[in-house]
Amino acid sequence: MRALIQRHPALSYFVLAFAISWGAVLVVIAPRGLVGTKADFDRLFPIAVSVMVLGPSVGGVLSTWLVDGRPGLRELRARLLAWRVGARWYAVALLTAPLYFTAAALAMAAWSPEFLPGIVTTHDKLGLVLRGLAVALAAGIVEEIGWTGVATPTVRRRHGAVTTGLIVGVLWGVWHFLPKIWGAAAHDLGAFTIIDLMCAVVGLTGFRILMVWVYDRTSSLLIGILMHLGLTASTLILQPLVSGAPLITVGIVLSATPWLIVAAIGVVRLRRGRRGGLAPGGRSTVRWSVPATAPGTSPHP
């Protein structure tokens, strides 16, 4: 079994993450059914989230130990503690999601005030912030030990940054399917479940491409954690407090927004590539993606 995992480290990680997370969630929700009521969702959601986030972290640590042993675990810890990456990367990590969530909500609010950010319309602002930050902190730390700490560098050894973001992002989105199906009725999304699931995949994949680009330039698991924290906190604090069809509208807009950022970065790179010119033989002299590096080393000085 260990030899099999060593031959397929990325696949092994994903299998472990899904099995642990979905298995734990099923233990919590199965007695009440796969589609929960609002009362079930409100009562069991904190427990379900607490056990679900263990999948990426436990799966990541376990697969790292089986593939690379203690040296691999030490290297994972080193990337977790890699904090000297420059202030701009902290700004990118913490502000990307809050800025585009706020911009999207304000743009939709021009159509209807119900789409104002949740922190504006709620009567319990302090409670919303505290709950949002608590969940974001737990999700950011525990999940990204696996997604950024293990999955991203493992897939990145064989693929470019965008392809890595697509692979990890799609699976990250699918990983959310079980709790979203369970909570569909609680948010009046029963008739829109398929659209809701697709929005999760599209939006999280776009954001994961951004995360992979940032990780390529920092090799810091800590920055990945902060970027995830910003996304989860924005979802719980800044996303409009609506349900049903309006919530699907929010989901569609927010799932498209990261791709607008990805496209903007792509255009900037394309223009830089054209200014950089072509080498003899018609090959571009500009590097479009950062080459995979040895564990724990930064691809940029």
What token pair was written down for 76? 């994972």
Contact status, residue 134 vs residue 233, Cβ threshold 8 Å: no
Residue 286 has pLDDT above 50, yes or no: no
Residue 51 vs residue 2, higher pLDDT: 51
Q: Is residue 297 part of a domain?
A: no
**Contacts of 86 by beta carbon, 8 Å cutoff, 6+ apart:** 218
Name the pLDDT band for 89 (thresholds 50, 70, 90): very high
Q: Is residue 290 part of a domain?
A: no
Residue 284's H or E segment, with its range, is: strand 283-284
What token pair was written down for 60? 């990541």
The whole domain housing 270 covers 2-277
CA distance 233 to 130: 10
The Cβ-side half-sphere exposure at 217, using a 13 Å CA radius, reads 13
Question: CB count, 10 Å around CB of 241?
Answer: 17
Report the pLDDT averaged over residues 5-10.
91
CA distance 205 to 265: 15
Domain count, the chain: 1
Q: Is residue 254 part of a domain?
A: yes
Residue 5 has pLDDT above 50, yes or no: yes
1: nearest Cα among 62, 74, 56:
62
Report the pLDDT averaged over residues 209-228.
97
Q: What is the pLDDT of residue 69?
A: 93
Q: What pTM value is reported for the model?
A: 0.89
Q: Is residue 143 part of a domain?
A: yes
Q: What is the pLDDT of residue 41?
A: 86
CA distance 63 to 73: 10
Q: Is residue 118 part of a domain?
A: yes
Q: Is residue 241 part of a domain?
A: yes
Q: Is residue 22 part of a domain?
A: yes
Residue 299 vs residue 205, higher pLDDT: 205
1-15, 166-180, 198-212, 273-287: segment of lowest average pLDDT: 273-287
Residue 134 has pLDDT above 90, yes or no: yes
Strand partners, 279: 283
Q: What is the pLDDT of residue 288?
A: 32
Q: Is residue 70 part of a domain?
A: yes
**Contacts of 148 by beta carbon, 8 Å cutoff, 6+ apart:** 211, 215, 221, 224, 225, 228
